[in-house]
Amino acid sequence: MEKEETGSKKTVNVRDLTICDATAQMLEKAKRDGVETAFDRALSMKACPIGADSACCKHCAMGPCRLSSKDPYGKVGVCGATIDTIQARNFARMVASGAAAHTDHGMAMLDLFREVVNGNITDYQIKDTEKLESVAQSIGIETEGREMKDIALDLYKELERTYTQVDGEIPFAARVPEKTLETWRKAGIVPRGAMREIMELMHRTHMGVDQHYENITKQSSRTALSDGWGGSMVATEISDILYGTPSPVSVNVNMGCLKEDQVNIIVHGHEPNMFESILSSVNEPTLIQAAKDAGAKGINLVGMCCSGAEMMSRHGVPHAGNFMSTEAILVTNAVDAMCVDIQCIKQGLVKVADCYNTPLITTNTRAHIEGATHIEFKDHDPRACTDEVVIRAISRFKNRKGPVEIPKIQNIGIHGFSHEYINYMLGGSFRGSYTPLNDNIINGRIRGAAGVVGCTNPRVKQDWVHVELVKELIKNDVLVLQTGCSQVALAKAGLYTPEAACLAGPGLSEVCEAVGMPPVLGMGSCVDNSRILVAASQMVKEGGLGNSIADLPLAGAAPEWMSEKAISIGQYFVASGVYTIFGVTFPIIEGTKFHKLLFEGLEQQGFGKWGFTADPYEMAKLMIAHIDKKRKALGLDKGKERVLVDMATRREMSAA
C-alpha cells in the first residue's frame, strides 16, 4: 500500500488505516493478492482542497468558478456569486441529495405498506399491530374499536402527506415538542411535504435564484426536517409495523460470522424488503437441501452496513462489518454472493468481487452497477429474486476456487434498542416511561445523552474516531445512542455487552448495572436516527429537562462521516435543537459568514449548532462542555444529588 507524497511513494502500514483487526488482515491479503480497495485509492488520490472547502461552483456554464480558500472574499464567481452563496448552495445540495435518499427509501416502504394493506402483496404482512396503533394514535388517528385494516388505510393516507403534501405541516410534526415546533413555525421551516421541500431547494440553488446564504440555509433546514421527521421517520415506523419493532437481541458481529463450510451470502444496502425476503429464501427447505447437495453444511446469511444493522437489530442476523469493510470481506474468498440494493454500495466492489469469482448482484431498479449481475427485486414477487440469489450462491460455493481465509474474530453484543424498548426497559411493562432516564439525568447519575452515528471513511483510521469518542463519553457518564456503521464499529470494539459498563463512569455504570443494559445503545440503521429524535421528544415531554429539544443535555456526532445523507442528518439534528459535531472534514471555510451562521448563528435563533473537529478527545470535550452548559441552564449543575423527583417537582422544573 503506497501513499503519494510530493512525488515520492511511501509504504503505509495497514494498522494505520484501520483498528478493525479483521479488515486489517484482509487488507494484508488484498496486498498479497494484488487487489485494490478504497483504502488504496484514498492514499493515492488526495482530496481536492478547493472542493473540500466548497470554494468552487459548477452550477452553470459561465463557470465552473473557483474561489480561493485562503482569501475567500478576494473574488466572486463570473455571475458575481460570493463565497457565502457558493458554500450555502453546495451545502444545500448535499442536504437535498441526502434527504432525497432517505425520503425515497421511506416512500418505497410506504408503497409496500399500501400494497400489503390492500391485499395486493401477500409475501409480507403487518407484524406489529401494537406499533401500528401507537403510530396512528401519535398523529391523531382514532383507533378505539376499529378494524386493523381501517386504521392501516387511514395511516397510509396520512403518511402519504409526508411526501406529496404541498401546503400545511407533515404529519409527524405532531410529535415535535411544542416549543421546538414554535421555533420552526416562527422561522417558517416546518416542512410541508418532502417532495416540495427538495424541489424548492434544488430550484433555489439553481444559478441566479436564492443568493442569500441565510435564506438558502432556512430551506436547507426545512428540507432536512422533512427527512428526519418525515421520510426517515416513515421508513422506520413502517418497517417496524411490517417486520416487527426491535427489542434487545444477542448478535455476533465481525467477519468471523462467515463460515468456511457453508454457503455465505452477504446482504448490503439499506431497504429491508429484499433482506426480509432473502431471510425466508435461506430457510426454504429445497434450497437448504440444494446447498447440502453441493457439499455445504447449510446457508449462512450475514448483513453489512445499514440493512445489516437493521436486520441485526430486528432479527439477530449476524453482521460482518461496516462500510469500509465491504471490499475487504470479499478478499476472504468465502463470500458466495454479495447482494446489494441502494446507497453506500461502492462501485469498486465489482472489481474486487470479480477477482474472487463472487457474484455481485444488484437488485434494485434504482441502482444498477456496470459489470455487476442484475436480478430485479419486485415487492410483488420477492422470492423470484432472492431464491435466484441463493441458487447462484450455491453454484459459486460448489465451484469455489483458491484458498479461503476468514479472520477468526466475532464480537457478541446486545443490539435492538428501539425507543419503545428503552421506554419499557426503564419504566417496566405496566408503566413504561422515560421517567427513570430523566430522573437519572436530573440526579446526575447520567450526565446527558449523545447520539454517535454515521459512516466510516478511508480518510481517517477506520473505527478509531468512533471508538475513542464513545469511550470518552461513557467514561464521563454520558449515555450513548447509536445507529449505522458507528454502531458496528463499537460492537466490534466490544462495547455492546452489559460488562462494558465497567468502562463507564460511576453514575452511568450504576444505572447500566441496575437495568442490565450496555452503556451504548444501538438503535439500527441510518434512517433509524429518527428513533433518536423520538427519544429526545419523549425526554422533553416527560418533564424536568426543559421545554424544547434545544434545552436537553444532548449532543450528536458523526465522527467518520462520508455521505450526503450524513449532512442531511446533521442539519435535521441541528434544526431540531442539537449540537452536532462532524469529524474528518467540514465542507466550509472557517471565518466566512456562512460558517458563522452554522457554527454560532443558528443556536442564537433557538436551534442547535454545528461543530467540527477530527480529534475524538476534543470532540468528546466539546460535547461534554455543551451537555454541562445545558445542565447549568436547567439548574442541574449543583453536584450529583441523589434526589427522587416526583411528578409535581418535575412539572415545576419544566415550567421554570
Residues contributing to the annotated binding site for [4Fe-4S] cluster: 48, 56-57, 60, 65, 79
Q: How far is the CB of 276 from ligand MSK (least distance, A)?
A: 17
Select from 50, 52, 60, 187 the one that contacts ligand SF4 (CB under 6 A).
60
User: Which residues 6+ apart lie within 8 Å of 231 measured at CB?
Assistant: 99, 102, 103, 104, 105, 106, 107, 162, 163, 194, 527
- Residue number with CB closer to ligand SF4 (205 or 236): 205
Measure the CA–CA gap between 398 and 261, rounded to whole angstroms.
Answer: 11
Residue 149: name its binding partner from ligand MSK, ligand SF4, none (Cβ under 5 to 8 Å by kind). Answer: none
Phi, psi of 125 (to 5 degrees): -135, 170
CB of 29 to ligand MSK, least distance (A): 23
Among 35, 39, 40, 59, binds ligand SF4 (CB under 6 A): 59
Closest Cα partner for 492 from 257, 306, 314?
Answer: 257
Q: Which stretch binds ligand SF4 (CB under 6 A): 57-65, 363-371, 406-414, 606-614?
A: 57-65
According to the binding rule CB under 6 A, does residue 415 interact with ligand SF4?
Answer: no
Q: CB 60 → ligand SF4: shortest distance, Å?
A: 3
How many alpha carbons fall within 13 Å on the CB side of residue 3?
15
Q: Which of 177, 230, 246, 484 binds ligand MSK (CB under 6 A)?
A: 484
Using the rule CB under 6 A, give the single segment among 58-66, 168-176, 315-323, 545-553 that binds ligand SF4.
Answer: 58-66
- Does 384 help bind ligand SF4 (rule: CB under 6 A)? no
417 binds ligand MSK (CB under 6 A): no
- Interacting span for ligand SF4 (CB under 6 A) from 51-59, 231-239, 325-333, 430-438: 51-59
CB of 504 to ligand MSK, least distance (A): 24
Q: How far is the CB of 425 from ligand MSK (least distance, A)?
A: 25
In this complex, which beta carbon is closest to ligand SF4, that of residue 67 or of residue 312?
A: 67
**Which CB atom, from 81 or from 251, has the smaller least distance to ligand SF4?**
81
239 contact choice in ligand MSK, ligand SF4, none (CB below 5 to 8 Å, kind-dependent) = none
Phi and psi dihedrals of 578, rounded to 5? -105, 135
Of the candidates 438, 464, 450, which has an alpha carbon nearest to the alpha carbon of residue 624? 450
Residues 425-454, one symbol each (x = binds ligand MSK by CB under 6 A, - = not), give: -----------------------------x
Using the minimum distance from each CB to ligand MSK, give the nearer residue, 461 or 650: 461
Phi-psi region of 333 (alpha: psi -120 to 50; beta: other; left: phi over 0): left
Cα–Cα distance list, 548 to 524, 531, 656 (Å): 25, 17, 13
444: Cβ–Cβ under 8 A, 6 or more apart, which residues?
A: 477, 507, 636, 639, 640, 641
Select from ligand SF4, ligand MSK, none the partner in contact with residue 454, using the beta carbon and a kind-dependent cut-off of 5 to 8 Å: ligand MSK
77's contact among ligand SF4, ligand MSK, none, with CB below 5 to 8 A by partner kind, is: ligand SF4
- Which 3 state secondary structure label does DSSP give 152? helix
Judged by DSSP in three states, 367 sits in coil
* In the complex, minimum distance from the CB of residue 568 to ligand MSK, in angstroms, rounded to a whole number: 10
Would you give the binding string for ligand SF4 spanning residues 192-221, x where CB under 6 A is met?
A: ---------------x--------------
Q: What values do phi and psi take at 233, rounded to 5?
A: -65, -40
Nearer to ligand SF4, 69 or 605 (CB): 69
In whole angstroms, the minimum distance from the beta carbon of 462 to ligand MSK comes to 11
How many other CB atoms sit within 10 Å of the CB of residue 161?
19
**Residue 344 binds ligand MSK, judged by CB under 6 A:** yes
Query: Which of ligand SF4, ligand MSK, none binds 62 (CB below 5-8 Å, type-dependent)?
Result: ligand SF4
Shortest gap between Cβ of 86 and ligand SF4 (angstroms)?
Answer: 6
How far apart are alpha carbons 407 and 613 in whole angstroms? 33
Q: Detail the residues annotated as belonging to a binding site.
A: 48, 56-57, 60, 65, 79, 270, 306, 344, 455, 485, 526
With CB under 6 A as the rule, give the number of residues binding ligand MSK. Answer: 13
Whichever of 491 and 636 has its CB closer to ligand MSK, that residue is: 491
Grid cell of 206 as nine digits: 439553481
Considering only residues 519 through 558, tell me which ones interact with ligand MSK, judged by CB under 6 A. 525-526
Minimum CB–partner distance for residue 96 and ligand SF4 (Å): 16
- The size of the interface with ligand SF4 (CB under 6 A), counted in residues, is 14
CA angle 269, 272, 273 (to 5 degrees): 115
Q: What is the DSSP letter of 611?
A: E
Provide the minimum distance between the beta carbon of 206 and ligand SF4 in the complex, in angstroms, as a whole number. Answer: 9
Neighbours of 365 (CB within 10 A): 12
| 311 is a contact residue toward ligand MSK (CB under 6 A) | no
CA 619 centroid distance within chain: 19
Which residue, among 191, 175, 226, 231, has the nearest Cα to 538 in the 3D structure? 175
Of the candidate residues 319, 415, 445, 565, the single one contacting ligand MSK (CB under 6 A) = 565
Nearer to ligand MSK, 493 or 508 (CB): 493
* CA proximity to 296, closest of 253, 261, 254: 261
What is the full DSSP assignment across 485-552?
HHHHHHHHTTTTSGGGGGGS-HHHHHHHHHHT--SEEE--SSTTHHHHHHHHHHHHHHSSS-SSGGGS
User: All 3 cell numbers of residue 577?
Assistant: 435543537
CA distance 573 to 555: 9
- Residues annotated within a binding site for [Ni-4Fe-4S] cluster: 270, 306, 344, 455, 485, 526
Nearer to ligand SF4, 65 or 266 (CB): 65
Q: How far apart are CA 450 and CA 439, in angstroms?
A: 17
323 touches ligand MSK (CB under 6 A): yes
CA distance 213 to 643: 47
258 contributes a contact to ligand SF4 by CB under 6 A:
no
Query: Distance from CA of residue 534 to its chain's centroid?
Result: 15
Closest distance between ligand SF4 and the C-beta of residue 72, in Å?
13
Q: Of the listed pieces 53-61, 159-167, 530-538, 635-643, which binds ligand SF4 according to CB under 6 A?
A: 53-61
Measured from the CB atom, is 302 or 653 closer to ligand MSK? 302
CB of 485 to ligand MSK, least distance (A): 3
Q: Are 480 and 501 in contact (CB under 8 A)?
A: no
How far apart (Å, rounded) are the C-alpha atoms in residues 271 and 249?
20
Residue 168, number of CB atoms within 10 A of its CB: 12
Burial of 203 (0-12, 13-18, 19+ CB in 10 A): exposed
Binding site for ligand SF4 (CB under 6 A): 57-60, 62-65, 77-79, 81, 86, 207
- Give contact residues for ligand MSK (rule: CB under 6 A): 305-306, 322-323, 344, 454-455, 484-485, 525-526, 563, 565
